[in-house]
Structures are given as C-alpha cells and as structure tokens.
C-alpha cells in the first residue's frame, strides 16, 4: 500500500477528498523498471491504468508491417493507458522504460470504481484526457510539417518547452532518451535521414546528443527552422 504522503506528491492525485485518497492508496501499486524493461504489452488483457512517477516511458505500436510507430514519450506525472480503461479492450499499445522508471498503477476496475464512488475526480480525469488530446494534436502538427528537418526541429522544441532544463547561459538540456532509429520512427523518416540532419546540426552547434538527452545551445535557431528559414 502506498503512503498518502506519496500519493499527494502526484499532481493528478493531490487535493482529493480524504476518503478518495485512502481508496487510492489502498489500490495503487508501485512498480520499478530498469531501462529496456516492458511495462505493458500490446494485446495484454490485464488492463491497468498507469502514471509515471519517475523516469521516461516510450509508448509504441507495432504495425502489421512490423514497423514500430511511437505514440509518445512520457515523463513524470503523465498518465498511460487511459484509452483502454473504459472499454475493457486489450491494451492497444506497448510501453517500455527508456530509463530507470517507477510507475504507479491500478486496475481498470478500481479506476472505474473510483469514478463511481468519487465523482469529484471525474473532472480531473477528463482534464487529463483533454491534455492528452492536445499532446496528440501537437504530434499531428509535427507530422504535418514539410521536411524532415522541420519535423525534427518541431519534435525537439516541443519536448524542450515541456521538460527542458535551462543551463546557466548555455541553452537548454532536454532529458529525452531516443536512439536515431526512434527519432526516425517519431518523425516518420529513415534512420539515415535523421542522422544526416542531426550530424549537420551537431557541426553547426544547433543540437548535440549527450548522455542525458539533447543539448540545445540556442533554441531560437530551431524555432527559426520550423518557421521555414533553412538551417
């Protein structure tokens, strides 16, 4: 059982009525995953609703053709698997830890039960879903960009705005752990194309891959690229 104190640290669950907190704390399970470990698998029936407590999670879908398409990268505080809950369908995607990760989860049944017992939380869930919708729309906008370079710029800028940490006078560090293949999948391009763009940008001091993610000395250059002005 989770401690109430810990529960309250999760923005999504803070400020709930005490009874609801207790209800949740009793049912939420914490799990830890090493880098590369699966959190859930496409097709699984054992639907759970997850929240990332710490770390980085990749959610993806494998198409019939074998190609993997990445639906999103999730960080602390974000929810996973909201979709499968109400319809009790199989999980429609897989999730894997990109970094050492800790997630909180509860069964879909408990999730729905909570809704029925504590309608006050419905609003919160609805807000989460709306937020997710907006994220997906951003993703679609990114995929709608003209060239691959623009799409990569869009991707990096979006995550930088979301999770970037300012560095003392040296731009932003974006904690995002993607291989070139994963980046390629996200922007719908081939690995080689991504590599060529990233290495060009590396030489031009626009973006650097570092162990912690990406280092962007001057994010305005990327923003300019999105607005068509070449690179």
Partner DNA sequence: CGACCCGTTGACAGAATTCAATGTGTGTGG
Partner DNA sequence: CCACACACATTGAATTCTGTCAACGGGTCG
Whichever of 84 and 149 has its CB closer to DNA, that residue is 149
When CB distances are held under 5 to 8 angstroms depending on the partner's kind, the choice from a copy of itself, DNA, none that residue 181 binds is DNA
CA 132 to chain CA centroid, Å, is 10
Strand partners, 103: 31, 52
Which range in 35-43, 129-137, 155-163, 165-173 contacts a copy of itself by CB under 8 A?
129-137
Contact yes or no for 94/38 (Cβ under 8 A): yes
191 contacts DNA (rule: CB under 7 A):
yes
Residue 111, C-beta contacts closer than 8 angstroms, at least 6 positions apart: 49, 85
- By CB under 8 A, name the one of 141, 170, 192, 212 that touches a copy of itself: 141
**What's the CA gap between 90 and 47, in Å, rounded?**
7
Binding mask 135-174 for DNA (x = CB under 7 A): -----------xxxx-------------------------
At 182, which helix (H) or strand (E)? helix 180-187
**What's the CA gap between 190 and 1, in Å, rounded?**
45
Quote the Cα angle for 162-72-50, to 5°: 95
139 contacts a copy of itself (rule: CB under 8 A):
yes
Which range in 14-22, 82-90, 115-123, 187-195 contacts DNA by CB under 7 A?
187-195
- By CB under 8 A, name the one of 3, 5, 45, 65 that touches a copy of itself: 65
4 contacts a copy of itself (rule: CB under 8 A):
no
Least distance (Å) between residue 97 CB and DNA: 13
Least distance (Å) between residue 163 CB and a copy of itself: 20
Quote the Cα angle for 92-34-166, to 5°: 90
């Amino acid at each position: 059982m989770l401690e109430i104190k810990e529960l309250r640290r999760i923005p999504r669950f803070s400020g709930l009525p005490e009874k609801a907190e207790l209800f949740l704390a009793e049912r939420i399970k914490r799990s830890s995953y090493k880098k590369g470990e699966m959190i859930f698998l496409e097709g699984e029936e054992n639907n759970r609703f997850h929240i990332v407590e710490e770390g980085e999670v990749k959610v993806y879908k494998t198409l019939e053709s074998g190609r993997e398409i990445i639906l999103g990268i999730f960080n602390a505080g974000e929810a996973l698997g909201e979709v499968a809950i109400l319809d009790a369908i199989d999980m429609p995607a897989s999730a894997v830890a990109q970094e050492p990760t800790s997630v909180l989860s509860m069964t879909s049944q408990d999730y729905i039960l909570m809704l029925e017992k504590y309608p006050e939380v419905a609003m919160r869930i609805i807000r989460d879903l709306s937020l997710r919708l907006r994220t997906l729309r951003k993703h679609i906008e990114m995929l709608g960009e003209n060239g691959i370079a623009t799409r990569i710029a869009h991707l990096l800028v979006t995550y930088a705005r979301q999770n970037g940490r300012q560095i003392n006078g040296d731009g932003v560090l974006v904690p995002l752990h993607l291989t070139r293949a994963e980046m390629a999948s996200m922007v719908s391009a081939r690995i080689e194309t991504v590599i060529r763009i990233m290495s060009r940008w590396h030489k031009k001091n626009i973006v650097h891959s570092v162990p912690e993610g990406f280092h962007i000395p001057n994010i305005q250059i990327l923003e300019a690229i999105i607005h068509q002005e070449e690179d």
